[in-house]
Structure 1
Amino acid sequence: MLRPKVLEKGDQIGVITPSSPAPVMFEERYQRGLSQLRKMGFHIIEGTCTNKSQSYRSASIKERAEEMNQFIYNDEVKAIISTIGGYNSNSLLPYLDYNHLKAHPKIVMGYSDVTALLLAIYEKTGLTTFYGPAIVPSFGEFPEMFPKGREYFENVVMLKKNAPYSLEIPIEWTEEFLDWNTQEREKQMVENTGWKTLRQGKAKGTLIGGNLNTMSGFFGSEYFPNLNGAILFLEDSFKNMADQERSYSMLKISGVFDQIEGLIIGKHEHLNDQHAPFSHDELLLEIIGDVNVPILINVDIGHTFPSHVFPIGIKASMDAGKREIRFLENGVVG
């Protein structure tokens, strides 16, 4: 495992827009995200696609890849953080300079559609990447970043906590949807009912995962990591039960559930159950079948807030019965 250096105050962060043109669509929220990072002590370099928009994407495939490569080549940049996700980060995968990043490792972080970049970098380089906050939805929250979200970020990439340690279950959470361009109040938090045991058991393995829907855009390619011996984490947003059956079944028929040691399912932001006569949890068990792996669900990772930062590639353990996830290694080096 290759790990990047710890992020420290005064470091430079490069901001990329590898898919959706969120800085143009939500300029005020984007600027608030940059201000949040500056208040935390970092210097910001905005990528070349920040102010570009081509409908559903920020810029051409080559332009978006070059934006990221410029930060990969810049030794002054210690972390690369995405503005948001979208649908098309997978388009960049053939054009990134993985060899240079392997020789000059740095933090790469984002979530949702950025899963494609995170998993491809891990597969091609062995470098730990970080499933964590993005500029617009996370750092740019109104009126400021959720305190727990900031704490989880600092714990992992700034080493405010040293492994091994168990992750806490947040007392409250939210998936409330408010228009980012008109939002004038804080999101309403609700009591967290906690993580739930879907199948008992303990596991230890390499922590790998991300957004399930995004995985379909590069699953089975040379950019998708081997999941043998992994603790797989999955999360999704605004999907329906039919989508979930298709995506879980993709993993089933590919043998993934026979390869992994454990399964972590994040809270699904606004799942559309389509009035199905069964629950999401029942659907998951139906698809997995007799494969005997521990399963922990309703975990705070991904699109709901606050969300933990998961370092892809570290050793981790889980005890589904005790509803416990432990990071056994740090994702960065001091």
Structure 2
Amino acid sequence: MILPKRITRGDTVGVIAPASPPNYENLQKGITFLQSLGLHVKVGERLKSTYGYLAGTDQERIDDLHSMFADQSVKAVICACGGYGTARISDKLNYRLIANNPKIFWGYSDITYLHTAINQETGLVTFHGPMISSDLAKKDFDQLSKQMFLQLFEPTQIIYTEQLSSLQVVAKGETVAEIIGGNLTLITSTLGTRYEVNTKGKILLIEDVDEAPYRIDSMLNQLQLAGKLDDAAGIVIGNFKHAVAKNELPSLSLDQVLDTYFANLSKPVMKGFNIGHCIPNIAIPLGKAKLSTNDKKLIIAPGVI
């Protein structure tokens, strides 16, 4: 694993939109927050571009990402929002450029595809955390979630216990391994591609939003049939916001679906983590971690040096 360097007050961070176009008014509010941390902000040259449901053409979004990693004055790359589109550019990225210029890369949701691809192609530890347009501008965005950005300035061990949220043990165990993953839809979409998620001996993080239980069931079944659940050393179940049936037809509950795939695993599985499309949204580096159901604790090593 490659750890990026920490940033300092006065540094410049780059903001890009590698998926869908951001709400520009919300983007400005997010930039103001970054500036309040003592940071200078450089926005991607094509940040205002649109191409249907995408924040510009594939090449425009690639150019912005490459430009930020190549620019030696930019010390971190933060995504404005998710949506859709990162899978379209994953096979066209210059991973050697990224590996040769390791720096903080931050986002979640659709950015999961880039986390997976960058991790597997370069070994760079990236950050699964709230984004400046889709999250920071929300009126109810909380102080704890804002504080999570401070780990970019100092190596910080993340210790997640029930002091942050109620945690439930689905399957007992303890493991120390690299934590990977993020959005379940994006993880599943990597199957059969060059960037197929590698869960072997790793802790798999899953979360999602606006997916009915049958959809979550379908995706977990696909991961199971692909051997990804058996290969994993442990499972961290983040927030599944609005995971309810969309009509009045009979449905399994989210908990029933999760129990089907995880309750009988001989490895640690816990749910209830406020990681993902939720408030608070606890940001974590996708690096070395310890998951233990004995004391209901997830510990993640610092993501910067």
Q: Relative to structure 1, is the Cα distance of residues 291 and 196 closer, same or farther in structure 2, using a 3 angstrom cutoff? A: closer
Is 1:319 the counterpart of 2:292? The answer is: yes
2:284 maps to what in 1?
310
Aligned equivalents of 1:292, 1:332: Cα separation in 2: 32
Extract unaligned runs of 5+ from structure 1. Answer: 172-191
2:159 maps to what in 1?
166
Q: Relative to structure 1, is the Cα distance of residues 130 and 224 closer, same or farther in structure 2, using a 3 angstrom cutoff? A: farther
Task: Map Cα deviations across residues 94-116 of structure 1 (whole Å, 9 max, x no partner).
Answer: 12111011111001110000001
Aligned equivalents of 1:202, 1:217: Cα separation in 2: 28
| Residue of structure 2 aligned with 1:151, choices 147, 150, 171 | 147
Task: Map Cα deviations across residues 140-179 of structure 1 (whole Å, 9 max, x no partner).
Answer: 2327x52101212213x22263x3x5224465xxxxxxxx
Task: State the 1:320 CA deviation.
Answer: 2.1
TM-score (norm 2): 0.93
| Residue of structure 1 aligned with 2:268, choices 283, 294, 315 | 294
Task: State the 1:75 CA deviation.
Answer: 0.9
Aligned equivalents of 2:82, 2:42: Cα separation in 1: 19
Give, as a single letter, the amino acid of the residue that structure 1 aligns with 2:292: D
Task: Map Cα deviations across residues 63-88 of structure 1 (whole Å, 9 max, x no partner).
Answer: 11111011111111111111100121
Aligned equivalents of 2:195, 2:304: Cα separation in 1: 22
Aligned equivalents of 2:70, 2:43: Cα separation in 1: 15
1:137 maps to what in 2?
134
What percentage of residue pairs aligned between the two structures are identical? 28
User: What is the RMSD computed on CA atoms of the aligned residues?
Assistant: 1.8
Give, as a single letter, the amino acid of the residue that structure 2 aligns with 1:296: M
Q: Relative to structure 1, is the Cα distance of residues 169 and 15 closer, same or farther in structure 2, using a 3 angstrom cutoff? A: farther
Task: State the 1:222 CA deviation.
Answer: 2.0
How many residue pairs are counted as aligned between the two chains? Answer: 303
Is 1:252 the counterpart of 2:224? The answer is: yes
Task: State the 1:49 CA deviation.
Answer: 2.4
1:184 maps to what in 2?
none
Task: State the 1:30 CA deviation.
Answer: 1.2
Extract unaligned runs of 5+ from structure 2. Answer: none
Does the 8 Å contact 1:153/1:308 carry over to 2?
A: no
TM-score (norm 1): 0.86
Give, as a single letter, the amino acid of the residue that structure 2 aligns with 1:198: V
Task: Map Cα deviations across residues 177-220 of structure 1 (whole Å, 9 max, x no partner).
Answer: xxxxxxxxxxxxxxx5x121112221221111110011233223
Does the 8 Å contact 1:252/1:288 carry over to 2?
A: no
Aligned equivalents of 2:82, 2:19: Cα separation in 1: 6
Is 1:222 the counterpart of 2:194? The answer is: yes
- What secondary structure is seen at the aligned counterpart in 2 of 1:331? coil
